[in-house]
Structure formats: C-alpha cells, structure tokens
Amino acid sequence: MRIRLCLAALSLAGGAGLATLSAPSATATSTTAAPNAAPNAAAACTDVEVVSARGTFEPGTLGFIVGDPVFSALKKKVTGKSLSSYAVDYPANLSLTSAAQGNRDLVNHVQSQAAACPNQRFVLVGYSQGANVVDNSIGISSAGAVVGSPIVATLPAAVEPKVAAVLLFGNPIRALGKSVTGTYQSRTLDICAKGDPVCERGGGDTGAHLSYRDNADEAATFAAGRL
C-alpha cells in the first residue's frame, strides 16, 4: 500500500493535466445511512458529521492517512455530542474529472444533510486531491493545481454557518501561493508538511506527503474547539 501511495504522490508532484469540465453528479451513500438509501440521501441526524474527501488512490473508509485517524481522534475529544461520518464519493484518481466530481458530491451531500438535520454541524476534511475538493466546495478554486479543477458547486450561504471547521492536509493550491481566505479562513487549519512537493513549491520530500497521520490529534483539537 505504501508503494502505491508513494507512486500517487510522485505522480502528483510531477503534475497532472487540467481541463475546464462540467462533471456529472456522483452518487453517494453516507457511512451512517441505511444500505438501500438513495444517492445523497440524508443519514440519521447527529450533532456533528465529519465529511472527508480522501487523497489520490488513498485507501480506507474516510482515508487511511487522514480521514480515518482524524475521525478517530475527534471522537475521543468531543464529549456529549454524537458524531457520524461521510466519505465523499468520487474517483480520487488522476482523471481530469475526478476533483470536480468530488466537489459536486460534497456540496450535494452537505446541502441534503443540512436540510434534513437543521441542527447538525459539519467538519470538512480534505487530503491532497481531497483538499482540492474541499477548497472548491467552499469557493476557493483549485484550477491550475495538481489534480485540481474549476469550481462546479459551492456550499450556499445558508449552509455556511453550519460548517464548524475545515481541515486541509497537503493542499495542492498552496504550491500556487494560494490559501483559504474569506468566510472560512478563521475556521480552517491548512497543514503542509515541510518538503511536501504537493503543497510546497519546490518541495522534494515525497515521504512528507504521506506523514499527515501525525497531525490527526492537532487537527481534531482544532475542530473540537469550534464545536
């Protein structure tokens, strides 16, 4: 598995083609939904839902390197609140449509969930290509970044107050000199490991891009403080 992830990181570091795309809506089932739930159907209401977009070729339920360890750490830090999770349904590969599909699925799911569960709050998590997905969904374009895409959907203003925290790891837009600004800036933790070639311009340490499990506790502490 580590070899596969290293190859993915090397592919990202080398750059990937980009195009302006109109991606079709992806279908998804929440990790807490019934097995026969309709695509993007709302799951049972909890106090907090962690919505995670995994990195390119990353295994795991929410993502072996970031999503799974962050969710596990957050469950330990948040007391007196119920938590659920949702894995953004998208290819997470090097195709030109991948990030755009994730962008649309994340926005569709959160909108549906917010409508069904008015008191629920969200923690958005994105690693590598998944950070592009989250960036786009909160209105920060990842076009021009490795495995990025133009924005195809954004969370509406009515949903924005329900997003308690945004956790980004190995965010490719940082290699472009960009970052999350505006409405979500104060709620965002954007971690780039030293030397990570995906998020640091000129970085040359591919292993750094696979190191973000080490930041799970820090990220969970950040999110828990905003719930």
C-beta separation of 29 from 85 below 8 A:
no
**What is the number of H-type helices and E-type strands within the chain?**
5, 5
98, amino acid identity: S
Residues labelled catalytic: 128, 196, 209
Q: Find the length of the chain.
A: 227
Helix (H) or strand (E) holding 125: strand 121-127
Angstrom distances, CA of residue 158 to CA of 112, 114, 136, 162, 197: 12, 9, 17, 8, 36
Structure token digits, residue 215: 């930041």
Radius of gyration of the chain (CA): 16
